[in-house]
Structure 1
């Protein structure tokens, strides 16, 4: 047994930190995938660590990682039961002001993936892509947990059955049903790798420049014909080049904008700032989904916490 487990059981907080600290990042990402909320994930991780500390005397085993995932997953299952699932406007059959929205995920939270192999890092980033997280919310809580533990975290079916206090047969059945719902669409990581860093950066530059110039035709020229544009927490959304063009001309492009590149959910993103009272103030976090060299979807999170994404809280007139 790891000597640090014995020390932590004896009340050594340093040993506890050495055991659990390196797992915090991956655990946070797991909770985000389950819950679709950065803030709920943070609460879940904090409670998981508190419960781990208080129940360490009862821990039996050589590795704390599966045990920690069991605590965190069960906490997530409880929260899902209490709070229901989160949505994106484009997932709703009809607009609803009562929906609870998925939150964007700061890519800085994925810094822990730098220690992984290239293949494992790509898999971890694919797991927080917005489309994948949104598709998870359409699953039952059990299916969600099984899919993540098996396909993202690579636990064996027998391990997952033990973590969730169920049978291997139930795990395999839930996994099959979950895979049918989630599907296997191309990921953003694959698209970005195919485009290459230079082409991706150029696409981002063109999107930024078109908005700052107020050039609607330049903006829509970057979109796929069936592109979608949504702005949670507003339940309405727009589809297709003509629909998005009309919306932009009727509203946003009557204002002046500045965009600052960032990353969210492992995807291309921008902090958007509108000119107001002599300065540019935050208005939304635009998260882009690409299909080939074009933009297939823009989700503009109007209530994103800019500080969490390393974005300034205002911009001067000259930049």
Structure 2
């Protein structure tokens, strides 16, 4: 078993990326890969052929089992229109309703270098619109570049069926805006300085005119620099005194936000020469996943009381 474990570990990163695209949650992707390894320990036989295809076969079955629930994961933008300034947060939704982030260091660096857009939050949310088998075929064929024959073998089906499923998946996949590129490092430095001082004017000046902002677990979200400015101006400096610790998520810069010295949220930043989207996950349980100290995390029921916008 120890010898097999040594052969399994080199496949962890690419399997994590695959399971993440299938499931839309870094937490669930980690669980799926671990279950894949457990099944591999129980079932792998070199007579079956190479290890990698067998692992993807097992991972696909694990993900399909995990996707039997009735609800798909989503971003706030997929759940309803943008709110107007002054609207309440509404009730928080359970974690399993949200597309959740994944740390860059859990993914295959080579894959990130050539297919970064396929782990962006918008693309992961778009994948959730596909039926599970359609999702698997599209990821294997269009993202991981498996051949139709390889995919058919993995899914125990025919090349004709794979090609037909891929065609339907491509037609059903919602369009997403192309990524704006890498956020400029100087822009990030300005963002951190403005955020930690809660300088509203400076923060808003860094946003694209059509920037969006959301705050899972709430379906509440904003579109447009003016709306974001109005909401932040009306708030009573809820994030004053915050400290941001840099990390990376979904191929983007991200920050662990500490408020009053305690873990509070994970902030994912998207954009180019201006920030186009800010997603603030009010879930300190993400800190350990990202290798960040979350030992003093506050319970989730305090979020609504402390989040002012």
Structure 2 length normalisation: TM-score? 0.84
Contact 1:126/1:132 (<8 A) preserved: yes
Higher helix fraction (1 or 2): 1
Name the structure 1 match of 2:280.
Answer: 300
> Which protein has the larger Cα radius of gyration, Structure 1 or Structure 2?
1
Shift of 1:68: 0.8
Q: Does 1:163 align with 2:137?
A: no
Name the structure 1 match of 2:266.
Answer: 285
Structure 1 length normalisation: TM-score? 0.81
Q: Structure 2: how far apart are the matches of 1:174 and 1:67?
A: 21
Q: Structure 1: how far apart are the matches of 2:91 and 2:58?
A: 33
**How many residue pairs end up in the alignment?**
283
Name the structure 2 match of 1:264.
Answer: 249
Contact 2:112/2:251 (<8 A) preserved: no
Name the structure 2 match of 1:75.
Answer: 62
Of stretches 64-73 and 18-27 in structure 1, the one that deviates more from structure 2 is: 18-27
Residue 187 (structure 1) aligned to one of 179, 186, 204: 179
Q: Structure 1: how far apart are the matches of 2:132 and 2:37?
A: 22
Deviations 1:90-136 (A, max 9, x none): 111368755611111012212x42xx4xxx44235333222221111
Secondary structure of 2:276's aligned partner:
strand
Quick one: higher RCO (CA 8 Å, sep 6+), 1 or 2? 2
Residue 106 (structure 2) aligned to one of 109, 131, 147: 109
Of stretches 29-38 and 86-95 in structure 1, the one that deviates more from structure 2 is: 86-95
- Gap runs ≥5 in structure 1: 1-12
Q: Does 1:213 align with 2:197?
A: yes
Alignment of 1:233-244 (within 5 A): 233-244=217-228
Contact 2:247/2:255 (<8 A) preserved: yes
Shift of 1:184: 6.6
Contact 2:212/2:222 (<8 A) preserved: yes
- Gap runs ≥5 in structure 2: 82-89, 297-309
Q: Structure 2: how far apart are the matches of 1:130 and 1:178?
A: 19
